[in-house]
């Protein structure tokens, strides 16, 4: 049986899952999304993801046509129908069909789309040996122009940085903000360990406040590891004892080299490994 995709209350075969070419999500990236993981058939921190989705919608004047409870039920039903236990969920809400102009008030019928599938963002060996990444010349969007807490459908900024990583022979890139400070990777948040303290850029650095980021910070506090949010430069990353990325798809993945600078001893560090172990324990009991 082919994968089923939820579109506005209906589950359809993925090859029949269509939206209008006049939808402003397609024409202009006018919409929002959430990327989530399921473990054992249960979505990890679904309430947090839905809260962020509704916050994004409110910020861009987008009315989600169903309730939060109905959305949660639709996500779970789509997972169940596709018989996915450990998988990835992409939840999308577009502005809906409109004209070729920018006027959002002419759009009708916002589209609610739920895609579920299996995902393996990185090979297992990267979790064991760590990633090598580069700094992209493409800067993170200025938060004064588009607030990074809005998880919008327009990811061209991140895609350009990802292409730069590919050309450099890497699978991921570090992005800086307009001040030249470290922001995040193309799809993940970044952490460094400096003298046994876990440090990550603050939200005003132009980052998305990731759900997995928050979970890892909670786990670190529970483990007695000091945690602080502070502006970071590339120098701070280069001389850090450890480095790792977090995200719904990536989970927790070590970084061992940045711009040809070896991080620590070139292997995933003890705090990174401990937090990865704790995160796996958390998702198993969630």
Going by pLDDT thresholds of 50, 70 and 90, the confidence category of residue 277 is very high
- The yes-or-no verdict on residue 128 having pLDDT over 90 is yes
Share of the chain above pLDDT 70, in %: 100
- Say how far residue 88 (Cα) sits from the centre of its chain: 11
Same domain, residue pair 267 and 146: yes
Same domain, residue pair 106 and 135: no
For tokens 């990583």, name the residue.
165
Query: What's the rounded mean pLDDT across residues 134-145?
Result: 95
Same domain, residue pair 132 and 109: no
Same domain, residue pair 140 and 238: yes
Pull the structure tokens for residue 26.
Answer: 């397609």
User: What is the spatial distance between Cα 199 and Cα 246, in angstroms, rounded to a whole number?
Assistant: 13
Give the mean pLDDT of the chain. 96
**Which of 66, 85, 117 is where one domain is finished?**
117
Pull the structure tokens for residue 277.
Answer: 């172990």
Quick check: is 285 catalytic?
Answer: no
- Using alpha carbons only, how large is the chain's radius of gyration in Å? 19
- DSSP letter at 248 equals T
Going by pLDDT thresholds of 50, 70 and 90, the confidence category of residue 253 is very high
User: E strands of the chain, at which residues?
Assistant: 4-7, 10-13, 31-39, 42-43, 87-94, 112-117, 131-135, 173-176, 182-185, 189-194, 197-200, 227-229, 242-247, 251-258, 261-262
- The yes-or-no verdict on residue 285 having pLDDT over 90 is no
User: What is the spatial distance between Cα 141 and Cα 138, in angstroms, rounded to a whole number?
Assistant: 9
Domain holding 70, by residue range, is 4-117
User: What is the spatial distance between Cα 72 and Cα 112, in angstroms, rounded to a whole number?
Assistant: 12
Residue 19 belongs to a domain with what CATH number? Answer: 3.30.470.10
Same domain, residue pair 143 and 268: yes
User: What is the spatial distance between Cα 180 and Cα 233, in angstroms, rounded to a whole number?
Assistant: 7
Same domain, residue pair 217 and 249: yes
User: What is the spatial distance between Cα 208 and Cα 203, in angstroms, rounded to a whole number?
Assistant: 7
Residues 185-222 have pLDDT tens digits of 999 999 999 999 999 999 999 999 999 999 999 999 99
Going by pLDDT thresholds of 50, 70 and 90, the confidence category of residue 1 is confident
Residues 43-83 have pLDDT tens digits of 999 999 999 999 999 999 999 999 999 999 999 999 999 99
Query: What's the rounded mean pLDDT across residues 257-274?
Result: 98
Same domain, residue pair 133 and 53: no
Same domain, residue pair 256 and 172: yes
Same domain, residue pair 149 and 98: no
Pull the structure tokens for residue 217.
Answer: 């910070």
Residue 252 belongs to a domain with what CATH number? Answer: 3.20.10.10
Query: How do 261-262 and 251-258 pair as beta strands?
Result: antiparallel
- The yes-or-no verdict on residue 8 having pLDDT over 80 is yes
Same domain, residue pair 113 and 128: no
The catalytic residue among 42, 151, 179, 257 is 151
Same domain, residue pair 138 and 212: yes
State the pTM of this model.
0.95
């Amino acid at each position: 049986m082919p994968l089923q995709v939820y579109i506005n209350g209906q589950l359809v075969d993925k090859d029949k899952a269509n939206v209008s070419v006049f939808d402003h999500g397609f024409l202009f990236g006018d919409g929002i999304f959430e990327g989530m993981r399921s473990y054992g058939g249960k979505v990890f921190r679904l309430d947090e993801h839905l809260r962020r989705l509704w916050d994004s919608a409110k910020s861009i004047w987008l009315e989600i046509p169903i309730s939060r409870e109905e959305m949660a039920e639709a996500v779970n039903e789509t997972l169940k129908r596709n018989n996915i236990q450990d998988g990835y969920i992409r939840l999308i809400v577009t502005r809906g069909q409109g004209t070729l102009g920018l006027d959002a008030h002419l759009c009708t019928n916002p589209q609610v789309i739920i895609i579920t599938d299996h995902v393996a963002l990185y090979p297992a060996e990267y979790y064991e040996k760590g990633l090598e990444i580069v700094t992209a010349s493409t800067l993170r969007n200025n938060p004064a122009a588009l607030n990074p807490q809005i998880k919008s459908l327009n990811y061209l900024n991140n895609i350009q940085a990802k292409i730069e990583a590919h050309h450099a022979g890497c699978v991921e890139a570090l992005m800086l903000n307009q001040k030249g400070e470290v922001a995040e990777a193309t799809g993940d948040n970044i952490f460094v360990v400096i003298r046994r303290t876990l440090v990550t850029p603050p939200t005003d650095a132009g980052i998305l406040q990731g759900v997995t980021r928050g979970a890892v910070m909670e786990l670190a506090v529970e483990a007695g590891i000091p945690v602080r949010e502070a502006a970071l430069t590339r120098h701070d990353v280069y001389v850090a004892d450890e480095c790792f990325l977090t995200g719904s798809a990536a989970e927790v993945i070590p970084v061992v080299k940045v711009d040809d600078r070896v991080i620590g001893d070139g292997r995933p560090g003890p705090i990174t490994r401990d937090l990865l172990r704790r995160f796996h324990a958390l998702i198993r009991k969630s």
